[in-house]
Amino acid sequence: MDWWVSMPKVELHAHLNGSIRNSTLLELAGELGEKGTINFSDVEHVILKHDRSLREVFKLFDLIHIITTDHKIVTRITEEVVEDFAAENVVYLELRTTPKCALVHKRNDSIGMSKQSYMEAVVEGLRAVSTVEVDFGSHDLSTPADSSAISDKGNGSQRKKIHVRLLLSIDRRETTTAAMETVELALEMRHLGVVGIDLSGNPTIGEWATFLPALKFAREQGLSITLHCGEVPNPEEIQAMLSFLPGRIGHACCFEEDEWSKLKSSKIPVEICLTSNLRTETIPSIDVHHFADLYNSKHPILLCTDDSGVFSTSLSNEYSLASSSFGLGKAEMFQLARDAIGFIFANDVVKEELVKIFASAARNLDSWPQSCT
């Protein structure tokens, strides 16, 4: 495991509220239990349960959203999530989250959260990170000051650095108007590291046509798009999503022959979330996972966690799992991690920095296979 942790990695599919530490979730649920907002004993086993169906996962998200309806909590979880990814040598993180508005909540302290104030709380969380230097895009318009994964603080001491960019998610429960509001907010927040839009939420709810106007508008305005695609069988929607040519898609679990050939000819990169797919049983077992076919046919793919908290995983764990399940060595896995640089939504300045970080890691890693350097 140490080796997978020490390898630099790029994480492009991580939902903020799905990546909350279990310990934090339990602590926050306990506090709300004391206030009487929720019944702690009812939710404790839901939080601690590991094998959840897709339906149960969305029930858990509803609970998480009750627990995190507070700006300070949103800031805290953002800070912790970034720290956790940085601690396992994720050098570039695209963190996605659904901007939320909440009406006055009578029984807890959340008063008047808007989509904008929610996102400001997220950005505050990025600023609050202290264990690692966070670059979230402010230097994109100028020359990068430092291109290593380690930054010099100016006083001789050095600390790790992580690049973080944000994707705003549209929830499939939302209306066209609400989706458009999210896109407008993303455009306003581009100077704060927002680079794109994600479509997610319960895949059995909502219609593609509802979100299309907002997604088209986002793309016209220069935002990148990633779509949760094919988590449940829905050939018509999958075809429509592939025809839209998003920058990436997530999951691609329930594809039929026609959809595979359309995907492969489109070369749309696929965000693969192994543990998530297995836990939610969208894929029955690892030996039939489409990772193998896509990898062997050289289709662009990348490994991601999806919800590291909800599925008790980490990106290092996903690399370890892929390596042992599909018989891939360290050299191949390093190459897979490095290839993900080509699929990030940040600009070329960041890409060049990441290329240098991986080149430097290839020179420095112990017991490194020669073919990688």
Which residues contact ligand 5GP by CB under 6 A? 15-18, 61, 97-98, 169, 171, 200-201, 203, 228, 231, 276, 306-307
Q: State in angstroms the smallest separation of the CB of 64 from ligand 5GP.
A: 7
Q: Kind of pairing, strands 248-251 and 150-152?
A: unpaired
Which uninterrupted H or E stretch holds 244?
helix 235-244
**In the numeric block, which tokens belong to residue 236?**
């018509």
Nearest CA to 4 among 338, 320, 254, 358?
Answer: 320
Residues labelled catalytic: 231
SS3 call for 150: strand
- What's the CA dihedral at 280, 285, 291, 292 to 10 degrees? 180
Q: State in angstroms the smallest separation of the CB of 288 from ligand 5GP.
A: 19
In angstroms, the CA 311 to CA 178 distance is 29
Q: State in angstroms the smallest separation of the CB of 318 from ligand 5GP.
A: 14
Nearer to ligand 5GP, 17 or 75 (CB): 17
Q: State in angstroms the smallest separation of the CB of 342 from ligand 5GP.
A: 24
What Rg value do the Cα atoms of the chain yield, rounded? 20
- 214, 227 in Cβ contact below 8 A? no
Nearer to ligand 5GP, 19 or 316 (CB): 19
In angstroms, the CA 345 to CA 360 distance is 22
- 262, 282 in Cβ contact below 8 A? no
Q: State in angstroms the smallest separation of the CB of 283 from ligand 5GP.
A: 12
Nearer to ligand 5GP, 66 or 357 (CB): 66
Nearer to ligand 5GP, 135 or 307 (CB): 307
Please give the backbone phi and psi of residue 358, each rounded to the nearest 5 degrees, phi first. -70, -35
312: alpha, beta or left, given left = phi > 0 and alpha = psi -120 to 50? Answer: left
Q: State in angstroms the smallest separation of the CB of 140 from ligand 5GP.
A: 23
Bridge partners of 249, per DSSP, are 227, 270
Q: State in angstroms the smallest separation of the CB of 98 from ligand 5GP.
A: 3
Dihedral sign from CA coordinates of 349, 81, 10, 280: negative
SS3 call for 257: helix
SS3 content of the chain, % helix, strand, coil (to 5): 50, 15, 35
38: alpha, beta or left, given left = phi > 0 and alpha = psi -120 to 50? Answer: beta
In angstroms, the CA 334 to CA 8 distance is 8
- State which amino acid sits at residue 359: A
Bridge partners of 224, per DSSP, are 196
Nearer to ligand 5GP, 65 or 159 (CB): 65
